[in-house]
Amino acid sequence: MVIDVETGPGQAFHVAIILGSQSDIGRMAPAMETLERLGVPYEVTIASAHRTPERVAGWVAGQESTGAAVFIAAAGMAAHLAGAVAARTTSPVIGVPLSGSAVGGLDALLSTVQMPPGVPVATVGLDAAQNAALLAAQVLALSDPALRQRLVQFRQEKAEAVESAAGKLSRDGWRSFLPEGDQKMSPKHDGGGVSRG
């Protein structure tokens, strides 16, 4: 699948996303959504470092030849995928370790982050699909001022959400953030804070 958003002359680079399994799509959806929101072209595929190693190699080579500037590789369990991609390209590779295993994703985290010297993988947090997309977009923005401006706007929206939450807190109190049924939480369970309001 190729999503080509606002690509014009001089903007041929794209982000190449590889998922270890179709079972990873739900956790990685925020990466695709974020790239679309930022107007960043991307391609996405499924290939496994263990089940289809040749497909991984062929896809990475194909992506390099068609203008992939950054790779995002997401996998769970013994997550060798980001390392396998990094072994085949000198472009930046962002690894996303995925949770969901019997050990809660610690296996994927260590497999992705602990690369041996010489073949780096820029690892984001467990299931941190949006951060992977933002980091990839920031790399592309080094040579794309319009994208950089969209990233600035994205940060501004995040800041406004914090300002809005802080305003609600001082206006309506901390209980207003709790679900309806929990708003009468008794003082012994409220963390012991002293209210001056």
Which chain residues interact with ligand RP5 by CB under 6 A? 20-21, 23-24, 48, 75-77, 98
Give 22 or 90: the residue with its C-beta nearer to ligand RP5.
Answer: 22
60 neighbors 21 (Cβ within 8 angstroms): no
Strands (E), 1-83: 2-3, 14-19, 42-46, 68-76
CB closest to ligand RP5, residue no: 20
Give 48 or 91: the residue with its C-beta nearer to ligand RP5.
Answer: 48
Residue 14 CB contacts under 8 Å (≥ 6 apart), including other chains: 2, 4, 7, 40, 41, 42, 43, 66, 67, 68, 69
Q: How far is the CB of 98 from ligand RP5 (least distance, A)?
A: 5
Q: How far is the CB of 125 from ligand RP5 (least distance, A)?
A: 16
Give 68 or 98: the residue with its C-beta nearer to ligand RP5.
Answer: 98
Distance CA 66, CA 169 (A): 49
Q: How far is the CB of 140 from ligand RP5 (least distance, A)?
A: 25
Give 73 or 134: the residue with its C-beta nearer to ligand RP5.
Answer: 73
Torsion of CA 186, 188, 189, 195, to 10 degrees: 80
Distance CA 176, CA 65 (A): 53
Q: How far is the CB of 37 from ligand RP5 (least distance, A)?
A: 24
Give 81 or 140: the residue with its C-beta nearer to ligand RP5.
Answer: 81
- Where on the phi/psi map is residue 95: left (φ > 0), alpha (ψ -120 to 50), or beta? beta
Q: How far is the CB of 136 from ligand RP5 (least distance, A)?
A: 19
> In 3D, which of 37, 23, 183, 193 has the Cα closest to residue 98?
23
